[in-house]
Amino acid sequence: MKIPIIYNIRSLRQRPASTLTTAIGMALVVAVFVAMNALANGFRAALVSTGSTENVLLLRKGANGEMNSGIGRQAASIVGGLPFVARGADGLPLVSPETFVVVPLERAGGGRANVVVRGVSLQAFVVRNGIEIVTGRTFRPGTREVVVGVAYTKRFPNAGVGQVVRFAEEDWTIVGHFAAGGSSFESEIWGENEQLMPVFRGQIFQSVTFRMADPSAFDGIKTAIEGDARLQLDAFRERAFYANQSEMLTRVLSFIALFVASIMGIGAVFGAINTMYAAVASRSAEIGVLLTLGFKPRSVLASFLVEALLLATLGGVIGCLIALPINGLVTSTTNWASFSEVAFAFRVTPSLLLTGMIFAITMGALGGLLPARRAAKQTVIDALRAG
């Protein structure tokens, strides 16, 4: 016969101080676990969601990022004429030749940060998926106007529509803000490539991105482009390229999250074992009574395990509640592949909270098992005498 759960709830309430300290100890561990993973999640989301699987990004052969690539006008126009490039409703090829530089700008909180300035044509807003102007309008070709990503506006001063940002010794007027589905484009400044080319690196683009007419044909397209002696280009799937750029940092962040949480978890399990042992020791008499009443040792074991799990669940819930407010908090770090700043938000997702709860319950199970076995192994006589 099972021992009713209400027995465990009442015993936990019987010693509120000890219950709360153990639960809060676990809660802090869960909170740190959730927070660290929310950070890694947010960063991954910012870079992995950058780019589309239907697009191909081209760089100069051997370049490992947009920053150290260079593609001449001629190569860029050859790409526009290739047969596997998709065409828009107006019949024009969906190709976006882009310039890419990073410029140092003063951050809102003081200190400088490198920001990506991307020179695009209006076609880029069609080719690069999910770009959406949320405030103002897009830049007019032939003018010194730029649009900035929504993440940029949170990190840098004077980012409002109508305000002016100064780089490359020139003033550029911000005419709009764009969103890009939380991707790293949102940390960038976009202007017209024909305006940016002369003030930066001369008549070369850094990358060319195009939409594939048939996205399933990527392997063939890659072979065709990389084998074309006129081009001297490497081809990547756009999304895979950006994911790859963030690979190292994502790995570092995930490692730190796992390392800190597991070490803390071990500490918390030790704490839980201690608490449960103490609970078992101080309730010897009760255990004796339970056994005398005819409850099986198995039921006693189950009951103490349930109690540890209850404690862990309480800790898990408190921990998740502590971690919840960080959701959406914007922080930034450097994408080392381009030496530029990427702003991203902590992302506390339902599945992450679930993982946090599972983490808490696992700690409870590990912490409760040994003490529960000790409780179940007692003989009636010993238990009653000890009490």
Q: Which is nearer to other proteins, 93 or 367 (CB)?
A: 367
At its nearest, how many Å lie between other proteins and the CB of residue 241?
13
Q: Is 90 exposed, middle or buried (0-12, 13-18, 19+ CB in 10 A)?
A: exposed
Q: Which is nearer to other proteins, 101 or 159 (CB)?
A: 101
Residues 274-293 that bind other proteins (CB under 8 A): 274-275, 277-278, 281-282
Give the number of other Cβ atoms within 10 Å of residue 385's Cβ: 11
Residues 103-142 that bind other proteins (CB under 8 A): 103-104, 111-114
Measured in degrees and rounded to the nearest 5, phi and psi for residue 191 equal: -135, -175
- Using CB under 8 A, count the residues that bind other proteins: 57
DSSP β-ladder status, 170-179 and 145-149:
parallel
At its nearest, how many Å lie between other proteins and the CB of residue 102?
5
Nearest to 238 by CA among 51, 80, 83, 42: 51
At its nearest, how many Å lie between other proteins and the CB of residue 199?
8
Length of the chain: 387
Q: Which of 4, 198, 270, 321 binds other proteins (CB under 8 A)?
A: 270
- Rounded to whole angstroms, the Cα distance separating 360 from 143 reads 57
**Would you count residue 325 as binding other proteins (CB under 8 A)?**
no
Q: Which of 254, 332, 349, 362 binds other proteins (CB under 8 A)?
A: 332
At its nearest, how many Å lie between other proteins and the CB of residue 25?
4
Are the C-beta atoms of residues 206 and 193 closer than 8 Å to each other? Answer: no
At its nearest, how many Å lie between other proteins and the CB of residue 217?
27
Give the number of other Cβ atoms within 10 Å of residue 266's Cβ: 13
Are the C-beta atoms of residues 196 and 141 closer than 8 Å to each other? Answer: no
Residues 176-235 that bind other proteins (CB under 8 A): 200-201
**Would you count residue 46 as binding other proteins (CB under 8 A)?**
no
Q: Which of 334, 380, 381, 382 binds other proteins (CB under 8 A)?
A: 334
Q: Which of 131, 264, 352, 376 binds other proteins (CB under 8 A)?
A: 264
Instruction: Write the DSSP assignment of 45-105 as a string of letters.
Output: HHHHTSS-TTEEEEEETT--SSTT--EEHHHHHHHHT-TTB-B-TTS-B-EEEEEEEEEEE
Largest CA distance in the chain: 94
**Would you count residue 67 as binding other proteins (CB under 8 A)?**
yes
The residue whose two tokens read 């991707």 is 183
Residues that bind other proteins in the complex, under the rule CB under 8 A: 17-18, 21-22, 24-26, 28-29, 31-32, 35-36, 39, 60-65, 67-68, 101-104, 111-114, 167-169, 200-201, 248, 260, 263-264, 266-268, 270-271, 273-275, 277-278, 281-282, 331-334, 339, 341
